[in-house]
Amino acid sequence: MSTYVTEVRQLSGRRFRVLIAKLGLDGHDRGAKVIARALRDAGFEVVYLGVHQTPDDVVRAAVEEDVSVIGISILSGSHLELVQDVVKLLRERGLNIPVVVGGIIPPEDADVLRGLGVYEVCGPGTLLRDVVEIFKRAVTV
């Protein structure tokens, strides 16, 4: 078990499982796959949904897989609408699962996403240790 995994388990008191998904018509999944693989290699449990997911698909899988954090990778430009729908569905179901969004997100849209309830927005070049730190903070909130 990696140091990252041990730290998260100690901080949160439970195992750590992250869901990684690509919303909408965005088929560019290299970044999502890199993050998913890096998290797996670090010892985290990762559920990778792949491309062309709907907000309902993401929330349903998050519940079924009992995830700690939802990671959404999106490059299509439809991030505001689709991520807002994910956050709305989580709230409607009374779920408190932090959502982290990564991709090409304009700074002004990143602020809007955070205002909608997204825990963090990560841009290109975000390192694994940064992602892990974000997840550690998210699961201990």
Is the model more confident about 23 or about 92? 92
| In the block, residue with structure tokens 């670090």 | 42
pLDDT tens readout for residues 75-103: 767 788 999 999 999 999 999 999 999 88
pLDDT (average), residues 100-124: 90
Query: Domains in the chain: how many in total?
Result: 1
In the chain, helix, strand, coil percent, each to 5? Answer: 50, 20, 30
pLDDT (average), residues 14-24: 84
CATH, residue 11: 3.40.50.280
Residue numbers of the domain that contains 114: 3-139
Q: Please report, to the nearest 10 degrees, the dihedral formed by the alpha carbons of residues 42, 45, 120, 4 taken in order.
A: -30
Comparing CA positions, the residue from 19, 28, 71, 18 lying closest to residue 52 is 28
